[in-house]
Structure formats: C-alpha cells, structure tokens
Structure 1
Amino acid sequence: MEREELVQLVLKRLDESAEAIREQWENPTGTHTRHFVVDDLLPVDVARQIYDSFPKDGNGFFSRESFREKKRTSAHLNQHAQILGDMTYAIQDARTVQKVSELVAMTDLEPDPSLYAGGLSMMFQDDFLNPHIDNSHDGQRDRFRRLNLLYYVSPDWTLENGGNFELWDEARRVPKTILCQFNRLVVMETNKLSWHSVSPVKAQVPRCCVSNYFFSVNSPDHTDYFHVTSFTGRPEEHGKRALGVIDNALRTVVSKALKTGRGKDQVNKTQDLS
C-alpha cells in the first residue's frame, strides 16, 4: 500500500463522513471539547497491516514513566516498517490537512513533519495517561497546537480492555469515554481547557495508535499564551492533583527560562512529507 493510496482512502472516508463530522464537531456531547470520530477509516486489511507492523515488544520506542503517564512513543519513523511512516504522513499530507480544515472550519492549520509529541504510540498492560492539556506550542514555539488526530489500530479492542480515550469536563470530574476501537480516527481540538486522558490498560495485548498534531500561527482564543503539557490526577487521586499543580508550574517556569521542552530530543529528523 503506497502513501498516495492511503491519502486517497483517508480523503474518501472523510468526504463520506462530512455531514456527521460537522454535526459532531459543532455539537459536542458529554464534554465541552470539540471533537469528531470516524469509524472504518481504511479497508480492514490495510488497517490490520498497519497494526501488524507495530513491534509488539515496543522495540525502538521511547519509554515514559512517571506519576503523570506510562507509555511508549516513537517519532523516528525510518526505524519502523514503511507503512507506519506512510500512514503517519498520509494524515500530514497537505490535502488531508486542507480537508480537515474545511470540516472543522479552521483556515490556517499546518502539519508538523517533525512529529513533536506525535508519531507512533504503544501502551501495554497497566500503562496510562493521566488527565492533561497538551503543550501549547510546537517544538520551536512558533505555532500553537490546534488539533490532535489519533488513529487506533488494535483489533478487537473492547471497553473492558481499558486504555480508552477520555475527554473531561472543565472541573476534571466526569469524563466522556471514547473506545479506542480498531480502525477508528478521533480528532479533538487542543486549547487551554481541552483536558483528556487514557484510562489504564487492562489487556495483555498492545494498544497501538498513529498520532498527529496540526498547528497554526494563531492561538485558539486569539491571545498569546504558553504552557507545558500539564497534568492532574483523576478525581479520586487527590495527591496527584496537588502534586500536578506544583509540577506544572515548575516545569512551565523552567521551560520558559531555558526554552526546553518535553520530547524535543525525540522528534523525527527525516521530516519526509514528500
């Protein structure tokens, strides 16, 4: 499956789902964060090929583990099967960006070939991602993060497997759970209040995802702001909530002063959008 074929398949499915996408985006339920879901993004055999290409032992992936999260990621696409890079960049393709821009009525979206904080994601049993808002900017701090695009490819994933995507209310008390169903694309806006998380994985098989972000030079609310990826605990995790306030503030101060950022050393250096 060539990259151009993947682009055309994605565009076709987005076109077929255009009415439903606009309805979901304009009328979010269970959360204030605008988002949409597209099922059956690719033919089943293609989606299965993408899943089969993930290294099931997580080899070549960078491991993150703290009170905030436990997961593995990789933006070094040249170290993995070609179809993983091709699918990532099919979503980054200018035509896909333009189509998504039209569907969500954002006119200045741009892809990020460096895959700062994006790329491939794997989560194993007991992995998790606590409620958080994403880093406000790209790696160079030239553009604001605007959309998070998540394509899930683990077959036969059920709600009982855990590892499901969650969008929270502003108080981070009640989540809307979105099953990370096989062959499902989830797109959400990112801003100061778009709290989201991944519930702890219970399954003994890996949760595999192709992750992308779109950026723009204009901020979501037309103000100039900056924050690091900021975490809190779940409603029952009072200690993590208190620790998160201090941790987020300290990391933001350090990041501003030193112009450092989480994952800047893990970006994709090939940046192949061709």
Structure 2
Amino acid sequence: MNVKEITALIVDRLEDYREDILDQWNNPQGTHTRHFVIDGLLPEEIARAIYAAYPRNADGFLDQQSFREKKKTLANLADRPQILREITYAMQSTEVVGKVAELLGVASIVPDPSLYAGGLSMMFKENFLNPHIDNSHDGGRGLYRRLNLLYYVTPDWKLENGGNFELWDSKVKKQKTIVSKFNRLVVMETNRDSWHSVSKVVVETPRCCVSNYYFSKISPDDDDYFHVTSFSGRPEEPGKRLLGVVDNHFRNTISKVLQVRRGKALDGNEKD
C-alpha cells in the first residue's frame, strides 16, 4: 500500500459519505463548531498497521507538559515506518485536499507540508489537552488555519477510556464528546471561537492520532486577526481559567512584538 493507493481510498470514502458529510457540516449537533465524522475511513488492516507502527513508549516523541496539556507529539517522520509517512502524505495530497474543499465549499485551502503543529500524537494515562482555540495562522503568519483533521487509530477505543475529542460552546461551559474511535476521521473548522479539547486518558493503552491542518489566505470570517494557541480551564477549574487568561495575553503580546515564527518540516528540520 503506497501514498497514491491510500489517497484513493480516502477520496472514495469521502465521496461515499458526501450527503452525510454535508448534513453534519451544515447542521452541527451539540456545538456551534462545524465538523463531520467518518468511521471506517480505511480498510481495517491498514488502520491496524498504522497503529502498529507507533512506538509503544513514544520513543523520540516530544514530551509536552504544562497546565495547558500533557501529551507526546512528533513531526519528524524521516526515520519512522513508511506507513506513518504514507498516511500523513495522503492527507496532504492534492486529491484529498481538493475533495475536502469541494465537499465543504471552503475555497483555496492548502495543506501544511511543514507539519506546523501537525504530525503524530500519543496520549498515555493521565494525559490531556485543555480547552483551547488553535493558533490562527501557519508558522510564517501568511495563511489562516482553517481545518483540523484528526485520524484516530487505537483499536477498540471506548468512551470510558477517556482521551476523547471535545467541542465546546463559546463560553467553554458545555461540551460535546466525540469518542476517539478506531479508524475514525474527525474534521473541524478552526476559527476564533472553535474551542476544543481532549479529556484525560484513564487507561494504560496509548491513544494514537494522525493530525493535519489545512490553511488559506482567506480569513474564516473575512476579518483579519491573529492569536496564538489560547487555553482555558474546564468549568470545574477556575484557577486554570484565570491562569489561561494571563498566559494567553502574555504569549500573544510576545508573539506580536517579536514576530515569532516557527514550524517543522517533515524531515524534522526547523524552518522560518
């Protein structure tokens, strides 16, 4: 199985779900954030092979730990099993990007070969990702972040495992849970109000995900803006909410003043 073959399978699956995707996207349930979910994205044997290619101990992954999040991520795919590169490149392919753009009516979107904030992620017991809105732009600040694509590959993942995707209302008080189910693709819009998170993992099994982002020169709401990834706490965490306000303001100010830019290429090299 190569990139072209995986690409064709994804495009066909998206086309098969055309009407369902449009219905989900245009009529979001339990949240204001537009999104859609597809189960069984790839043949099961391919999805299981992708999961099997993840290291069980997250060897070589970046360990991110703060009040904001606790997870392990990787953008350097150079020395990883070929199938991990293939699924990532497939999601970045012209055919898949074009099909998503066509279905959702999002004009002029482009993939992110730098894997800025994208790539592979693993979340182990006690790992989490607090409610947040994504960085508004790519690493060079030339493109707006428009779509977030999350492909989950841990077999037999259940609601009670935790580690599930959550979409929040604009005040981060009510959330919709989407189980990080095996072989499930979740696509969501990203804008100034698309709060989302991952609940704490409560099992030893790692929750594995392939993440990709699509960008556009056009702002999601036709209004120019910029912000860093901005975090809050859950409703029962007033301390983290207050800390998030201070932390977000500080990082936004620093980023604007210093014009911070960052990103990682698929080979792991830093680039401007």
State the TM-score, normalizing by the size of structure 2.
0.97
Contact 1:117 1:267 in 2 (8 A): no
- Name the counterpart of 2:207: 207
- Name the counterpart of 1:154: 154
The percent identity for this pair of structures is: 59
Contact 2:37 2:186 in 1 (8 A): yes
- In 1, distance between residues paired with 2:110 and 2:189? 14
- Name the counterpart of 1:113: 113
- In 1, distance between residues paired with 2:54 and 2:258? 35
- Name the counterpart of 1:268: 266
Shift in Å, 1:185? 0.1
- In 2, distance between residues paired with 1:221 and 1:190? 11
- Name the counterpart of 2:70: 70
**2:75 corresponds to which letter in structure 1?**
A
- In 2, distance between residues paired with 1:96 and 1:265? 22
Shift in Å, 1:268? 2.9
Note if 1:259 corresponds to 2:244. Answer: no
- In 1, distance between residues paired with 2:200 and 2:56? 18
Secondary structure, counterpart of 1:203 in structure 2 = coil
Shift in Å, 1:260? 1.9
Within 5 Å, which residues of 2 pair with 1:82-101? 82-101=82-101
Shift in Å, 1:128? 0.2
Secondary structure, counterpart of 1:79 in structure 2 = coil
Contact 1:60 1:79 in 2 (8 A): no
Secondary structure, counterpart of 1:38 in structure 2 = strand
- In 2, distance between residues paired with 1:211 and 1:61? 14
- Name the counterpart of 1:138: 138
Within 5 Å, which residues of 2 pair with 1:34-73? 34-73=34-73
In structure 2, runs of 5+ residues without a counterpart are none
Contact 2:150 2:185 in 1 (8 A): yes
- In 2, distance between residues paired with 1:259 and 1:6? 38
- Name the counterpart of 1:25: 25
- In 2, distance between residues paired with 1:188 and 1:146? 9
- Name the counterpart of 1:188: 188
**2:11 corresponds to which letter in structure 1?**
L
Report the aligned-residue RMSD.
1.1
- In 2, distance between residues paired with 1:79 and 1:35? 33
In structure 1, runs of 5+ residues without a counterpart are none
Contact 1:35 1:186 in 2 (8 A): yes
- In 1, distance between residues paired with 2:60 and 2:128? 19
| Alignment size in residue pairs | 269
- Name the counterpart of 2:226: 226
- In 2, distance between residues paired with 1:73 and 1:267? 14
Secondary structure, counterpart of 1:52 in structure 2 = helix
- In 2, distance between residues paired with 1:74 and 1:259? 24
Shift in Å, 1:4? 0.8
**1:240 corresponds to which letter in structure 2?**
K
- In 1, distance between residues paired with 2:241 and 2:265? 29
Cα deviation code 1:138-177 (max 9, x no counterpart) = 0000000000000000000000000000000111001100
Cα deviation code 1:247-267 (max 9, x no counterpart) = 000000101111225xx3644
Secondary structure, counterpart of 1:78 in structure 2 = coil
- In 1, distance between residues paired with 2:42 and 2:57? 25
Shift in Å, 1:79? 2.3
